[in-house]
Amino acid sequence: SVLSACKFLEDQGVKVTYLPVNDQGVVEAHTVRSFITEKTALVSIMWANNETGMIFPIKEIGEICKEKGVLFHTDGVQAVGKIPVDMQDVHVDFMSMSAHKFHGPKGIGALYIRDSQKLTPLLHGGEHMGGRRSGTLNVPYMVGMAKALELATENLQEKMASIAAKRDRLEDALLSGLTDVFTVGNRANRTPNTILISIRGVEGEGMLWDLNNALIGASTGSACASADLEANSVMLAIGADNELAHTGIRLSLSRFTTDAEIDYVIERFESAVKRLRAISSSYAIVQPTAGGEAGEHHPHH
């Protein structure tokens, strides 16, 4: 969604620079520093990637932006309610978040604005929200979002550990039970709920069909771009070949995911891969290798 906003700004004549990522799909702080110029007005970096779960160095980037006098926005949608987010500990001018990512109502979000920043409203009319956004406030959704965030962040470290343990068990089972599968991103720097897994020889759309029939929710990328059948841009950015970038499947857990559900997903995921590979005309010519985590077994190797 941020990329779409950037493309809109480009159409209005604004110069937008897209920063490269490292082999884990993360924009590093020194990269941000090297691209800032005297004309830079705003830096926008996600706190955690929506497909890989990789966490970005927001604190370091914020310090660089503060030093350079550049406004800093972070897309916190995949971070808030999942990992510790302390706005007193980072220099962020704006942060966007969405309630449905932490079990709140769908259709409401929030924008954190550092006190000193003024915004020109996009919607005009009344003086709602301090003149920032006109329109009658949706109080029930606002209360629902606040309560959901309160519940999500209670005992957050314990919730994170429980979710990560289930995520790791699922990931380990798929990597050990199948050949030519790869996960993207180092677990130590990932949100605890996310897996992006690629299966050589199996188109992502075919996997989604099988998983959907098994009542397993998965995606081939961001929901913001789920109508596209193009190769996964995140995987291409970290060096995956075009074929492998078409096979990426994202699985997300929550604090409500059970061990029985993990067992079920392992069984149905493996059977779907084996079924689709058996009817694939391309997989027979691929030399099977052991599955692994990207960085140990790089996706395009």
Helix (H) or strand (E) holding 181: strand 181-183
Please state the pTM of the whole predicted model: 0.86
- The correct CATH number of 156-293 out of 3.10.20.310, 3.40.190.150, 3.90.1150.10, 3.30.1370.100 is 3.90.1150.10
Specify whether the CB–CB gap between 163 and 257 falls below 8 A: yes
What letter represents residue 58's amino acid? Answer: I
Check pLDDT > 80 for residue 114: yes
Check pLDDT > 70 for residue 223: no
Query: Which 3 state secondary structure label does DSSP give 219?
Result: strand
For domain 2-153, the CATH architecture is: 3-Layer(aba) Sandwich (3.40)
pLDDT at 250: 94
pLDDT digits (tens, 9 = 90+) for 141-178: 999 999 999 999 999 999 999 999 999 999 999 999 99
The long-range contacts involving 131-134, CB below 8 angstroms and separated by at least 24 positions, are none
**Proportion of the chain above pLDDT 70, given as a percent:** 89
Q: Where along the chain do its domains lie?
A: 2-153, 156-293
- Quote the CA–CA distance of 180 and 201 in Å, as a whole number: 8
Neighbours of 104 (CB within 10 A): 25
Check pLDDT > 90 for residue 276: yes
DSSP letter at 252? E
Q: Which of 224, 226, 258, 301 is catalytic?
A: 224
Check pLDDT > 80 for residue 301: no
Q: Which neighbouring-strand residues pair with 293?
A: 183
- Quote the CA–CA distance of 27 and 19 in Å, as a whole number: 7
pLDDT at 300: 38
Q: Is 224 a catalytic residue?
A: yes
